[in-house]
Amino acid sequence: MPALKVISGSWNALLHLFFPRLCEGCRKPLIASEQVLCLSCLLQLPKTEYHHIADNDTAMRFAGRVPFMHASSLAYFTNEGLLQHLLHQLKYKDKKEIGTWLGRQLAIDLKMTDWIKNIDAIIPVPLHYKKEASRGYNQSDLIGQGMSDVLSVPLWGKALARRRHTESQTKKSRAERALNMQDAFVVKTPALLKDKHLLLIDDVLTTGATLESCTHALLEVPGVKISIATIGIAMD
């Protein structure tokens, strides 16, 4: 066994020599203990620290719109910012490892709260099946996998489905986004979700229309309680 570890370590060292893992922020080689971002760039990730604040901006965006228990976001999402770059690489450059890594970072923060212990399952916002087939994966599933690993909470990736293909939300107003997402989701396994406290997750919170629509669908199941978490929260 020790000999195998030596061989494995030597092989990994050779791979790193000829194919170095690079930081997604500064493009410098990562050391063995680093993933996705080097320590210097990790410290530059604009984290919100919302898990310490009950009435944070994420929670305020849903206040009065849908019943929910708790809400939080990992970091601020700004144009040309570090988080925007990471999510672009995740969604459009097939860098799936960024999704699970971001999920772990969010879960590490949430693990410091008391309420996370009451979560029964993680529910990612689903893509339409055609879009997921085209991309090859759902980025929110990958985020959920990273969270599940840290929190030891199951990821129920097929419990919620998008019933129709929706137009891009990017250039729509708040009212247009809400109309676009109306009745867009359906619960596939209501018996599984009954009386559960679910953590609904997504990559970025903007107006909250998508998450609001998901929440309405989930709350049709008797006894369900919803908390919400996102990697980013878009800032004006």
Cβ proximity of 211 and 200 under 8 Å: yes
Q: DSSP of 144-201, one letter per residue?
A: HHHHHHHHT--B-TTSEEE-S-----TT--HHHHHHHHTT-EEES-HHHHTT-EEEEE
Q: Domain 45-234 falls in which CATH fold?
A: Rossmann fold (3.40.50)
Which of the four pLDDT bands, split at 50, 70 and 90, describes residue 178? Answer: low
**The model's pTM:** 0.87
pLDDT higher than 70, residue 167: no
Mean pLDDT of 202-208: 96
Mean pLDDT of 48-72: 97
pLDDT in tens, 118-140: 999 999 999 988 889 999 999 99
Average pLDDT, the chain: 89
Q: What percent of the chain has pLDDT over 70?
A: 84
What pLDDT score was predicted for residue 123?
98
Which of the four pLDDT bands, split at 50, 70 and 90, describes residue 172? Answer: very low
pLDDT in tens, 75-89: 999 999 999 999 999
What pLDDT score was predicted for residue 184?
83
Cβ-based neighbours of 188, under 8 Å, separated by 6 or more: 158, 159, 160, 161
pLDDT in tens, 6-59: 444 454 554 555 568 999 999 999 998 999 999 999 999 999 999 999 999 999
pLDDT higher than 80, residue 202: yes
**CATH 3.40.50.2020 boundaries in the chain:** 45-234
